[in-house]
Amino acid sequence: MKIFIDTANLDMIKEINSWGILDGVTTNPSLIAKEGVDVRTRVREIAEIVDGPISAEAMSTTAEEMVKEGRELASIHPNINVKLPMCVETLKATKILSSEGIKVNVTLIFSPLQALLAAKAGAAFVSPFVGRLDDIGQYGSDLVEEIMAIFNNYGIGTEVIAASIRGPNHVLDATLCGCDIATIPYDTLKKMIGHPKTDEGIAKFVADYEKSKKN
């Protein structure tokens, strides 16, 4: 499974990229606002750090404007894909942008049939929001599993990005159903590394090594 980081913070991106495990980056207007930067500048900076897909969200509301904004965003760097929220205008814009070779990530996916429609319109990626479904008492990971089953049934090549990830269990659920990508917040990535038995094991090896040096 590919691992993306879900942030617009350059320090976090640089740190996780240095681990050698990072395949791409997703941003959204809320993450960009947290950084107090302009989306175009920030995605250009990210593209200079990470060699992989980078999602930049377009804020237009009509298909015509989405296409114009999408072309502008995609022209910033070859790795930039255009993130658009699921709606009719997005489907129309996705059809046009994808026919021009511009990759679209259809976001705010909350049902498997939304994912199917986005894929049929030519989306390169769909982003089901796991955590936000958990927030309203549904089991968000089921959505990812259902989308994977549909895409596998029909040989659909659109990649599924498990998004709105809130902890390591969401990442594990995504891997178990063969999800293509998880876009993971920095804190969750840090939690994925550690295990108390690993720490205990390292401490014991170090202590035994120190003892053996004295013999």
Q: Which residues are catalytic?
A: 83
CB of 184 to ligand G3P, least distance (A): 9
Residues of span 43-62 touching ligand G3P by CB under 6 A: none
The residue (of 95 and 166) whose beta carbon lies closer to ligand G3P is 166
Gap between the Cα atoms of 141 and 173, Å rounded: 6
The residue (of 24 and 122) whose beta carbon lies closer to ligand G3P is 24
Gap between the Cα atoms of 72 and 187, Å rounded: 32
6 binds ligand G3P (CB under 6 A): yes
* Planar angle of CA 79, 154, 134, nearest 5 degrees: 70
Among 28, 114, 141, 158, binds ligand G3P (CB under 6 A): 28
The residue (of 129 and 151) whose beta carbon lies closer to ligand G3P is 129
User: How many residues sit in the footprint of ligand G3P (CB under 6 A)?
Assistant: 10
- Beta-strand (E) ranges in 39-95? 54-57, 80-85
Among 94, 105, 114, 164, binds ligand G3P (CB under 6 A): 164
Q: Taking the CA of residue 165 as centre, how many other CA atoms within 13 Å lie in the half-sphere pointing to its CB?
A: 32
CB of 205 to ligand G3P, least distance (A): 37
CB of 196 to ligand G3P, least distance (A): 26
The residue (of 55 and 94) whose beta carbon lies closer to ligand G3P is 55
Indicate the SS3 state at residue 109.
strand
* CA dist list (Å): 46 to 21, 55, 58, 107, 154: 16, 10, 17, 20, 34
Among 90, 98, 158, 183, binds ligand G3P (CB under 6 A): 183
Residues of span 90-149 touching ligand G3P by CB under 6 A: 127, 129, 131-132
* CA dist list (Å): 159 to 34, 75, 197, 198: 27, 22, 35, 33
* CA dist list (Å): 1 to 41, 108, 180: 29, 21, 5
User: Which residues are near ligand G3P by CB under 6 A?
Assistant: 6, 26, 28, 127, 129, 131-132, 163-164, 183
